[in-house]
A = this chain, B = another copy of it.
Amino acid sequence: MKNNNKPLTLKKVAEILNCSTATISNAFNRPDQLSAALREKILTECKRIGYHGPNLTARSLRKGESGVIAVLLTDSLAYHFTDPVANQLLQGISEVLEKNNKQLLMLSSATNAQQTSGIEALPDGFIVYGSQDHNPLFERVVQQGKPIITIDFDIDEYPSVNIDNQQAAFDIANHVLEKKPESPAILGLRLIHSDRVCRITDDELFDENESISRRRLDGYLKAAEQHNYQIKSNRIWHVPKNTYELAKQAAHEALTSHPLPDCLICMSDNIASAALNIAREMNIRVPEQLKIVGFDDIPEASRLSPPLTTICQKSREKGKTAALKLIQGKLQDKTILPSQLVIRSSS
């Protein structure tokens, strides 16, 4: 099974089959350039001698395309594998790529921090997930002049796939505030730049910022206003990353703060799930004593007890849409995908 010979090259194959390299190349790339019979014969022969087609590196150097699509992620790859939302997104992307015979290369700014590998030259296109401020790799990607589509954030010149985060956030906050909780609090994701779980301050509250977190926060606060709530900045927690550990920490802080919240509006299902967990540990009944709502509708959301009220944002669909547009070269517009309030028993 093991193999230590060098793989065959097109040139050698041409020698063996006693014809020119162009003919072999054509057999693989341009069926119309030679007779079907000859092509068939060459292909069979190649299979027999163990030549599986042209080398990607050489072909890509020559043609300037590789069949590889890259996903550019903000954080470390490892983190994105833990995040259920990123996961669904990647599912959607890879479904489309596989169907279209494209390869998936995962790129993160974490990798190329110091040494540049030049990897950005390889892919034929890029799906960029999440804000890329100060990411040097992103700048090199832009330099390639290849198709780019962004997800969950916008850059003027590039097509993007998004949902209406503000409206969705408004909807879910509106839903839960209609129940007239006495002391609502917000567990927000990536609201500020700190690495720590913490509350935010008044001057941070009205930051101008186009990130999805800020749009969601705006939606929450708009709903609060309509219901005559004033949610102060010290009732808003910042969770730096969407991990279960950090979420638990924030939930614990919130549920041991005074006044005790009877309503937690969470910016991700992951955070909501952690909050549910803490509430159970503290023997706080949900939804009777505490209402909890999430965001995203990850698969786990409907399996929790109680099942989570949340915003269904079809991350998988987002991934599929972005990948499809990229592959089909439909790179004009900004796409807004629908999202939807899903009411379950946690509220």
Contact = CB atoms under 8 A, between A and B. Distances in A.
Given A87-B87, A142-B3, A76 B59 contact: no
A117 interface: yes
Contacts of A55: 61, 118, 121
B119 A68 contact: yes
A11 interface: no
Contact of A56 (B50, B78, B118): B118
Contact of A277 (B66, B115, B277, B303): B303
Contact of A91 (B59, B61, B81): B81
A57 B52 contact: no
A81 B87 contact: yes
A110 interface: yes
Contacts of A78: 91-92, 94-95, 98
A63 to B, nearest CB: 10
Interface of A: 1-7, 50, 52-61, 66-68, 76-78, 81-82, 87-88, 90-92, 94-95, 97-98, 101-108, 110-112, 114-122, 140, 142-145, 155-158, 244, 273, 277, 280, 299-300, 303, 305
B157 A1 contact: yes
Contact of A117 (B67, B76, B115): B67
A120 B68 CA distance: 12
Contacts of A143: 3, 7, 50, 52
Contact of A81 (B90, B118, B144): B90
A6 B145 contact: yes
B81 A94 contact: yes
A280 B304 CA distance: 11
A91 B68 CA distance: 21
Contacts of A119: 56, 67-68, 103
A106 B108 contact: no
Given A91-B81, A140-B52, A142-B1, A98 B111 contact: yes
B105 A2 contact: no
B122 A57 contact: yes
A52 B141 CA distance: 10
A84 B94 CA distance: 17
11 contacts: A7-B144, A50-B143, A76-B98, A77-B97, A78-B94, A78-B95, A81-B87, A82-B91, A87-B87, A122-B122, A300-B300
Contact of A118 (B59, B77, B102, B303): B59
